[in-house]
Copies of this chain bind each other. A is one copy, B any other.
Amino acid sequence: MEVLNLGMVGGGTVGSGVFHALQQNGALLAARIGIRIHVRKVAVKSVEEPRPYPIPRRFLTTNWREVVEDPQVQLVTELVGGTTVAREVVETALRLGKPVITANKALLSAHGPALFAEAERHGTNLYFEASVCGGIPILKALREGFVGNRVTALYGIVNGTCNYILTRMTQERADFQTVLREAQQEGYAETPPDLDIDGHDAQHKTGILASLAHGHWIPADYIAVEGIRAITPLDLQFAAQLGYTIKLLGIVKQLKERARHQGEVPLQVSVYPALVPSDHVLARVQGVYNAVFVRGDVVGDTLFYGRGAGKDATASAVLSDLADAALDVRLGTRRRRPAFVKGPDAVRVVPLDDVVSRSFVRLSVIDQPGVLARIAAVFGRARIGIASVIQPEGHTGEVVPLILMLHEAPDGAVRKALDRIARLPVVKAPPVRFRVESLT
């Protein structure tokens, strides 16, 4: 059986997970693809650092160039993370014509197009299934499974930390800070947690999904992003009462069917917490799990669900890419499915202010007659319709929550109306607002 030599850069959580999975299932993989993948060397930051799975000392080096530049090494994994050394590793390998497998969404988000161009120049390829939603083969599904589809809508729960926190807040009626602290202690959230909690990790992944789905690279700064810090148990409770669950969603949505034929696809690409109907499959995605709901113009509605992170789930995706890369190397088809293929349709990312959606609004108001009328007047002047109101009973003069469901309106108009409402004397805290995604 043919053997291909793998050089690994990064032997931490994901790296050691890949090493372990290759030990455990390497023979199975070999039987399936007809190629044995042999780990030749693993570059690590420090030989002594603790890792979830052990890697024997003889494989280790602290010099990544020794791995990447080894003439015997035919495939390279970049599993160090970050955008500095990782970038150098990937570029060096690609310049040597070696296929690179990476799990690094931050690197792709920052330098994707440059790296894809580098791969093309040197007749090789970059594989990145593991960069989005860990074990869920979502990039393969988009690229290959739905190769005959236009993706008209995609909604992803792509950050396990946020989904874990929201699930626990919902189940335990606990507040954000308490659950975050516990999640950090349990290892479900990083310290500092900002990259996850503020939606930036989801933004990277949503950008990659949007780019693959539409064949145009969408830079992160085109993607409006809101995190989950503002969500309170009260919001989850009122949302539930109205038949909804709050999820942090990465959204890639074609806004008008028509415009496509005028040469340009208007796209919404954003990340924010949204209300989704509680009986929808997406709403049932709990804990650290990820899921991506994809609507194709031929296939209809689909959903892909699984673990989005962790050493093993991510290793599963790296092994899938390794198998593709190994077949491509052996068969001499390194550019069979290039890392990125430009699509035929032009796209335009529509500013979030122009995106139309329904809204859930929670205000903290003084409980006194006429409050609702004053608030309704602001929405009325902005031509924003109110669909329903929940006004829990309180005592006169107390600060109480007031929940409003708004009809469809442009995002900017809702934002401006809420700015005005925030300045009303009867409103005692900044308005909280989440968009409603009906997913139909």
Contact = CB atoms under 8 A, between A and B. Distances in A.
Nearest to A322: B148
A341 B31 contact: yes
Contact of A147 (B279, B320, B344): B320
A313 B300 contact: yes
State the copy count for this chain: 2
B28 A150 contact: yes
B148 A137 contact: no
A343 B30 CA distance: 10
A136 B144 CA distance: 12
A28 B344 contact: yes
Given A32-B215, A140-B140, A306-B301, A148 B25 contact: yes
Contact of A215 (B31, B137, B150, B307): B31
A342 B322 CA distance: 20
A315 B409 CA distance: 36
A377 interface: no
A184 interface: no
Interface in A51-103: none
B300 A307 contact: yes
A352 interface: no
A336 B331 contact: yes
A259 interface: no
28 contacts: A21-B148, A27-B344, A28-B148, A28-B150, A28-B345, A29-B147, A31-B341, A31-B342, A33-B337, A129-B145, A135-B299, A136-B302, A137-B145, A140-B140, A144-B320, A145-B317, A146-B316, A147-B319, A281-B305, A299-B306, A300-B307, A300-B310, A302-B306, A302-B307, A303-B305, A327-B336, A327-B337, A333-B336
Closest 8 CB pairs of A and B: A148-B319, A137-B145, A302-B306, A299-B316, A135-B299, A303-B305, A31-B344, A298-B316
Interface of A: 21-22, 24-25, 27-29, 31-33, 129, 135-137, 140-141, 143-150, 215, 279, 281, 284-285, 289, 291, 296-307, 310, 312-313, 315-317, 319-320, 322-324, 327, 331, 333, 336-337, 341-345
